[in-house]
Structure 1
């Protein structure tokens, strides 16, 4: 099994960040790579579309409002992995109420690619996503 994790400090309080990203169906609100999300099965599954027309289907597997994090598993995607589970988490920064740390991490089994290749793929997706989140919050 392989894994990767990316963190960014973003310009907003943890509560403000969580109010933007904490909804499982909220990716289009801050992630340009995902312009469309459709909630299914009472909001426990999301069907995502990217600009290339690829479909990604993910299931919510853990959600904690108080601790500001959720985890999801990929059910269908054009990625060379199986067993993918990812967590998006918002942390407070000691002594600061105007910034938050956001961590996006995942673990997965490479399928048709090396561990290094898929770790680099998801590190890039997470980094680009958190950069987009920071830009959305700064606007």
Structure 2
């Protein structure tokens, strides 16, 4: 996401909000670095932390509860901010970019959003052949 944001005009899209997992310190630092590169002050962006929808190795039986908690907190941030651009009730389009690491099958998030996203982008041609709505645009990173 941060790579794709480099093409945006920071003056047009402000304030900016980042929604990251509460256990993801690296993404927080990368978002701060991105804003430093934009020359932003602290009032031009916010970093919101939410619980992860699913932890690696988490039992599947507990996923619905952790997912519901993450969705609820994300929705709260979303509706407070009402963004003009959402990277995925102002004529918003959901654009989903599947992970570069997903070569043969979609991630769980991809499998869910495949049916809801206005544009579904994959980074490997094999996935666009397997999933008809998926668009292969090359490697984005």
**What interval of TM-score do these two structures reach, taking the shorter chain for normalisation?**
under 0.3
TM-score scaled by length of structure 1: 0.26
TM-score scaled by length of structure 2: 0.26
Structure with the largest fraction of strand: 1
**Structure possessing the higher relative contact order (Cα contacts under 8 Å, 6 or more residues apart):** 1
The structure whose Rg is larger is 2
Structure with the largest fraction of helix: 2
